[in-house]
Amino acid sequence: MNEPIIRCEGVVKRFGELTVLDHLDFTVDPGEKVTIIGPSGSGKSTVLRVLMTLERINEGVVYVDGEPLWHEQGAKGLEPASEAHLRKMRQKMGMVFQHFNLFPHMTVLRNLTEAPRYVLGLSPREARQRAEELLELVGLSDKAEAFPSQLSGGQQQRVAIARALAMRPKIMLFDEPTSALDPELVGEVLRVIRSLAEEHELTMLLVTHEMDFARRISDRVCFFDQGRILEQGPPEEIFSSPKEQRTREFLHAVLHPEE
């Protein structure tokens, strides 16, 4: 069996009094597509934000690709990571945000070439070529010179996905990528994510409320509750015969909101 690409061991994250991740143990295999579901406040977005190094952890160790993420191997065991180490580790991951977070003062093309040029050191031509390939992948080749404000929400989110992919991450983190979209725009974004899910190499972590979608693309579904994984397994198992009462209640509330 392969070494897991992500391994969280006893991870604790607190915001003041509130414990958001409560001794979380969680592993993801290389190339695995994992969907995280659960009620709001269960810590599901926080996991992604910890992995993307947007939130520090209070306890525990996170390993990404065999190396500790928030720590470095020092003389006396693990020490808090330096910015240089964090930058090296960040390189392995890309993130797509609920609210897209495109740079509004840059064209679509510039949004895609900024990091490859200034972080990876690509030449303007290489960066542009890479960006154009990705825009074609997300079906927005004609929008290269547009500004984000001229695009629909669905188009903006597709640009954001392309922007993250431009850094060639091993792991893609999707934080509720369709939650801020009008219902008729959800489909175009899900289609792009789905086409990515067919890439065997790419590891994907997806936080979503789109249960049907999760069922179709995931290798595994994790149900988060109160900062831990309460239940996990193949999608058919979780959605058809959940073992835990809390999972059943949550799925019922999401799938039959009017009852």
Partner 1 sequence: MLFGIEWDTSTSWAFAWSILPILLRGMVVTIQASLLGFFVALGLGLLLASLKGVPLKIIAWPAAFITEFLRDTPLLIQLFFLYYVLPDYGIVLPAFLTGALALGVQYSAYTAEVYRAGIQAVPRGQKEAARALNLSERLTFIHVILPQAVVRIVPAMGNYLVSIMKDVPVLSVVTVLEMLNVAKIIGDRTFNYLIPLTMVGALYLLLTLVAAWGVRVLDTRLPKRGIPLK
Interface with partner 1 (CB under 8 A): 52-54, 87, 90-91, 93-95, 97, 99, 101-106, 114-115, 118-119, 147-150, 163-164, 167
Closer residue to partner 1 (CB): 15 or 244? 15
Sheet with 6-15, edge to edge strand ranges: 18-28, 6-15, 59-64, 67-68
Residue written as tokens 């990876």?
A: 120
Minimum distance of partner 1 from residue 77's CB (angstroms): 27
Helical spans, DSSP H, in 16-107: 44-51, 83-90
Closer residue to partner 1 (CB): 147 or 215? 147
Minimum distance of partner 1 from residue 50's CB (angstroms): 13
Closer residue to partner 1 (CB): 189 or 238? 189
The answer to whether residues 92 and 64 touch, using CB atoms and an 8 Å cutoff, is yes
Specify whether the backbone of 237 is left (phi greater than 0), alpha (psi in -120 to 50) or beta: alpha
**Is beta strand 77-80 parallel, antiparallel or unpaired with respect to 71-74?**
antiparallel
Minimum distance of partner 1 from residue 102's CB (angstroms): 7
Closer residue to partner 1 (CB): 67 or 147? 147
Burial 14-39 (b: 16+ CB within 10 A, else e): eeeeeebbbebebebebebbbbbbbb
Closer residue to partner 1 (CB): 150 or 240? 150
CA 60 vs CA 1, 24, 45: distances in Å: 24, 8, 18
Closer residue to partner 1 (CB): 28 or 95? 95
Minimum distance of partner 1 from residue 106's CB (angstroms): 8
In angstroms, the CA 7 to CA 29 distance is: 9
Minimum distance of partner 1 from residue 118's CB (angstroms): 6
Minimum distance of partner 1 from residue 141's CB (angstroms): 20
Closer residue to partner 1 (CB): 122 or 229? 122
In angstroms, the CA 200 to CA 175 distance is: 21
Minimum distance of partner 1 from residue 254's CB (angstroms): 26
In angstroms, the CA 195 to CA 96 distance is: 15
